[in-house]
Amino acid sequence: MCLPVGEVLLKCKFQGDTSCSWCQKELESHLHCFFLCDWARRTWLQSPLNIYVHARQNWDMMDWLKTFIQWCEEDITQGEFHLSYAVFLLYEIWRMRNHVRFERMASSPETLCEQVNLKDNRLWAQWHRELINTVSESTHTRECLNVSNYSDCGLVFTDAAYNRYSNNYSAAAVYKSSDGDIQAMAYRRGRTTSANHAEMMAIEVGLLLAKKEGVRKLIIKGDCMAVLQGLKTKRLDQLDEDASATFSRISMLCNVFSYLDYIWINRSENVEAHEVAKWVQSSLAMGPYPDIILRSVKPICVL
């Protein structure tokens, strides 16, 4: 988390108030700002999440957080649902913090908590409604090559980040079991001349990762429509030379699998791969580029 809280600003030798925006009692750290401050605690405990989590714990916030994370890991389907809600709540907490710090907005803690939860509920409900419409089986919102039997297939989510000014790209893939547990992640980084080529690289990384993991039946999910259209029509008119070469390698890799399906999904469904791609692009020093790095991981849960 790289948000400029007081602790981060202090390390950058920032001159000014670095205390908590809510209580002004402690140095503002990420943990304090979002979870440990009395105001933040009250916001979380007044949210719908508390109905499910706090009932099994006392008022210790760290126990509450541990229970919340464990609960999300136990049931990945339910966990994704409530983690999505938590992300929106974190966003509203940060936005309200900025109002208090920069606009000097004065209000009672109870009113602030109520405002945050109301906005969060509205924002999450809108996102969830759009997500349900997006992932429906309507041909207007989802296109796939075959009718998939998900029960015995591995799932690979792919995405890419591309900087049009530096031409740096990062391509990421996240492999999940049929149960939804994260098994491995992979990325490739380098330079290219188009976002399309970066997205093609992500598909190739996903296929290489699935091959390395011994997957025989595979479903690739991503938000690169150019690849989907190319697979369906076998026409690559809109791809540049580099992307066409990458597509040829993808076509060869497809022969490795006894079953392969490609499904286009909305960006909101592709969170893990999107975040890995952004992390590689922003966090890794751009120097000599490794051809591809594969990394096995345990199931993770990020707040």
Is residue 140 in a domain? no
Is residue 141 in a domain? no
Nearest to 82 by CA among 95, 70, 93: 70
Given a cut of 50, whether residue 234 has pLDDT beyond it is yes
Is residue 276 in a domain? yes
**Mean pLDDT, residues 92-115:** 73
Confidence (pLDDT) at 258: 87
Confidence (pLDDT) at 79: 43
Q: Which two tokens stand for residue 298?
A: 């345990």
Whether residues 127 and 167 fall in one domain: no
Task: Give residue 111's domain range.
Answer: 6-134
Give me the residues paired with residue 190 across strands. Answer: 169
Q: Alpha-carbon distance 278 to 198, whole Å? A: 13
CATH of the domain at 180: 3.30.420.10
Select the highest-mean-pLDDT range: 110-119, 136-145, 203-212, 242-251. Answer: 203-212
Whether residues 159 and 285 fall in one domain: yes
Q: Alpha-carbon distance 268 to 131, whole Å? A: 7
Return phi, psi of residue 191, to 5°.
-130, 145
Given a cut of 60, whether residue 301 has pLDDT beyond it is no
Q: Which two tokens stand for residue 85?
A: 């809600």
Hey, is 124 helix, strand or coil?
helix
- The string of pLDDT tens digits covering residues 210-220 is 988 888 888 88
Nearest to 152 by CA among 265, 270, 264, 259: 259
Whether residues 106 and 68 fall in one domain: yes
Whether residues 123 and 169 fall in one domain: no
**Mean pLDDT, residues 129-133:** 51
Give the domain-ending residue among 134, 164, 183: 134
Q: What percent of the chain has pLDDT over 70?
A: 55
Confidence (pLDDT) at 128: 57
Given a cut of 60, whether residue 294 has pLDDT beyond it is no
Give the pLDDT band of residue 34 (cuts 50, 70, 90): confident
Select the highest-mean-pLDDT range: 36-50, 59-73, 151-165, 268-282. Answer: 151-165
Is residue 139 in a domain? no
Give the pLDDT band of residue 52 (cuts 50, 70, 90): low
- The string of pLDDT tens digits covering residues 251-276 is 888 888 888 888 888 777 787 788 78
Confidence (pLDDT) at 190: 85
Domain count for the chain:
2
Is residue 302 in a domain? no
Is residue 145 in a domain? no
Mean pLDDT is lowest, of 190-204, 230-244, 285-299, for 285-299
Could you tell me how many helices (H) and strands (E) the chain has, helices first? 11, 6
DSSP result, 228-273: HHHHHH---TTS-HHHHHHHHHHHHHHTT-SEEEEEE--GGG-HHH
Is residue 301 in a domain? no
Whether residues 20 and 89 fall in one domain: yes
Confidence (pLDDT) at 288: 44
Whether residues 16 and 122 fall in one domain: yes
Give the domain-ending residue among 106, 134, 162: 134
Whether residues 115 and 18 fall in one domain: yes
Confidence (pLDDT) at 264: 80
Is residue 1 in a domain? no
Which residues have CB under 8 Å from 29's CB, separation 6+? Answer: 5, 6, 7
Q: What percent of the chain has pLDDT over 90?
A: 1
Whether residues 86 and 204 fall in one domain: no
Whether residues 168 and 52 fall in one domain: no
Q: Alpha-carbon distance 57 to 64, whole Å? A: 6
Give me the residues paired with residue 157 across strands. Answer: 174, 221
Confidence (pLDDT) at 134: 43
Whether residues 209 and 129 fall in one domain: no
Whether residues 287 and 170 fall in one domain: yes
Give the domain-ending residue among 65, 99, 134: 134
- 218 or 291, greater pLDDT: 218
Nearest to 185 by CA among 198, 175, 170, 171: 175
Q: Alpha-carbon distance 162 to 199, whole Å? A: 9
Whether residues 164 and 247 fall in one domain: yes
